[in-house]
Homo-oligomer: A and B are copies of this chain.
Amino acid sequence: MTGNVAAAKAALAHLDIEKSDTAIKAKSRDFFWYSPVLKARLDDVIADFVISPRSEDEVIEVLKVCYEHDVPVTTRGAGTGNYGQAMPLAGGCVMHLQHLNKVKHVEPGRVICEPGILLKDLDAVCIEKAAHELRMFSSTWATASVGGFIAGGSGGVGSCTWGSLRDLGNIIRLRVVTMEAEPRVLEFRGEELARVSHAYGTNGIITELELPLAPAYDWVEMFVAFDDFTPAMEFAEDLANQDGILIKLATVFEAPITHDYFQRVRPHVEPGTNLVGLLVAPQSMDGFETFTARRPGARVIYRSDDHDWPKAPGRVFEYGWNHTTLRALKVDPSITYLQVRYGFPKHRELVEKMRSEFSPEVLQHLEVLRENGKVMFAGLSLVKFTTEERLDEIVRLHEEAGAMIFNPHRYTLEEGGRQTVDDRQLRFKREADPKGLLNPGKMIAWDDPDWAYDRMYAYPGLKAAE
């Protein structure tokens, strides 16, 4: 289905088009390789060409030309997603939004920007101009783009306070270009946001975002050590339930994650140390210290504003969320992970059950998260990978126990999500991408409406490098 690639490429040659084959290969890849399952399937996927538009007009031009020539377009930011979101399964054009990096307006509580700006750079502008920062961001803050986060992410650092991206109020407005003979530019707010947020660019390309901001503070970043797992988990949750203590991160690492995979932290812990990583607002540090003194087992081993570690560990949030997996992978390439929802009010119980069933094959890495006003856990469990069959069995046993899995070993929206068709996204794709050229192979409902979800979906149009 890659259409007339040569014609499209020629028609777009006056734009910023990638010349180097190495760069084309690099820009055809995201972080799908966290998953051995995806790695086995997507490692040879490559775009025919990569183009980086410099404006919304150029985005429109790319979409119009590719539409005319039936060339698929897979849009990407920095490519730090782990679900293969930005992998151009059918080849064709990869549209890289790195040049769309302008901040158009900042005020206390709100920012309007383009999608290609990195989260870190966006935060810097918001802090400078309005003493505010993003409510939430991925642990890839330093390298990921805001558009990629919104189109391919679900939450992150800050979700312990603000919930998930899908929650009302965490995205204000998205401006979206369709892929039609004459692309349209649409503005979505409210209920309409669900059409295109977390849609992997399958039904429209985001060219502008309006997001709420939170006040910026010099967060105190900390590690708190515990001999046992349960008190560590309880500490993280109970702290998040302290209404008067403002936090931006509460992460729990089961032993021996810290000792085995966090090289800068390793000299300060034992193999049996369970760790909690935290970001706490400076004005909440007195409250935090009082809270912590009530827990005899809790030992603050690092705080960013006052420590004597010869080698500082860097940002504590760069140990949490998907960076935990990344750090583990670097030490042990056989490690992969799961994304688990441990829902309130059975979250603790469920974590303990999964832990007793699977540890150490599966090690608990928990992120405190709010959902419907309740503190609960997202699990980004580390899994010692053996076979795909065993991985599928672990997934199944979690689901049977009531722990929902957002399977990161699948590249479709449905399988990585709630395993059901999102009608709003599908209906909008019919309108906005009538030829089905946007990020093909990622929406099962489009390809095969009767798919039974009884096995891993394999996109029939998958095209690997020749």
Of A162, A170, A212, A240, which is in contact with the most chain B CB atoms at under 10 Å from its CB?
A: A212
Contact status A190-B372, CB under 8 Å:
no
Q: Main SS of the interface on chain A?
A: mixed
A290 near B217 (CB under 8 angstroms)?
Answer: no
Instruction: Tell me which of B163, B293, B374 contacts A244 (CB under 8 A).
Output: B163
Q: In the assembled complex, how far is the CB of residue A398 from the closest CB belonging to chain B, in whole angstroms? A: 24
Selected from B189, B215, B240, the residue in CB contact (under 8 A) with A373 is B240
- Could you tell me which residues of chain A, from 246 to 261, have a CB within 8 Å of some CB in chain B? 246
Neighbouring B residues of A389 by C-beta, 8 Å: none
Tell which of A43-51, A268-276, A280-288, A430-438 binds the partner. Answer: A280-288
Q: Within 8 Å CB of A370, what residues of B?
A: 243
Contact across chains for A170 and B244 when beta carbons are under 8 A apart = yes
Contact with B along A223-256 (1 / 0, CB 8 A): 0000000000000000011111110000000000
- Kindly state the separation between the CA atoms of A324 and B373 in the bound complex, as whole angstroms: 27
A168's nearest neighbour on chain B, judged by CB, is B287
Contact (Cβ within 8 A) A244 B169: yes
Question: In angstroms, how far is the closest chain B Cβ from the Cβ of A11?
Answer: 38
Total copies of this chain within the assembly: 2
Beta-carbon contact of A169 and B217 below 8 Å: no
Among B161, B169, B189, B282, contact of A284 (Cβ-Cβ < 8 Å): B169
Cross-chain contact B244 with A162 (CB below 8 angstroms): yes
Q: How long is the Cα–Cα vector from A161 to B191 in the complex, in angstroms?
A: 25
A369 to chain B, nearest CB (A): 9
Proximity string of chain A (371-392) to chain B, C-beta cutoff 8 Å, 1 when within and 0 when not = 1111100000000000000000
Tell me, yes or no, whether A64 is within 8 Å of chain B by CB. no
Q: Which residues of A (278-319) have their CB < 8 Å from a CB of B?
A: 281-284, 286-291, 293
Q: Is there an interface contact between A243 and B290, defined as CB atoms closer than 8 Å?
A: no
B371 and A168 contacting across the interface, CB-CB below 8 Å: no
Do B168 and A212 touch (CB < 8 A)? no
Given A108-B131, A215-B109, residue A243 in contact with residue B286 (CB < 8 A): no
* A242–B190 CB distance below 8 A: no
B373, A109: Cβ atoms under 8 Å? no
Chain B positions within 8 Å of A189 at CB level: 286, 290
Q: Which residue of B lies closest to A245 (CB)?
A: B169
A372 and B169 within 8 A (CB): no
Q: Cα distance A291–B215 when bound, in Å? A: 24
A195 at the interface (CB under 8 A from B): no
A202-234 interface code vs B (CB 8 A; 1 in, 0 out): 000000000011111100000000000000000
Task: Confirm or deny: A69 has a beta carbon within 8 angstroms of a beta carbon on chain B.
Answer: no
CA distance A167 to B290 in the complex (A): 11
Besides A108-B217, A163-B243, A215-B215, 12 more A-B contacts (Cβ < 8 Å) are A109-B281, A109-B283, A110-B283, A168-B244, A169-B245, A169-B284, A169-B287, A169-B288, A172-B283, A190-B287, A242-B373, A243-B371
21 sampled A-B residue pairs with Cβ under 8 A? A108-B131, A108-B215, A108-B217, A109-B215, A161-B243, A162-B244, A163-B242, A167-B242, A167-B244, A168-B245, A168-B290, A169-B242, A169-B284, A190-B287, A190-B289, A190-B293, A214-B215, A215-B215, A241-B374, A243-B372, A373-B375
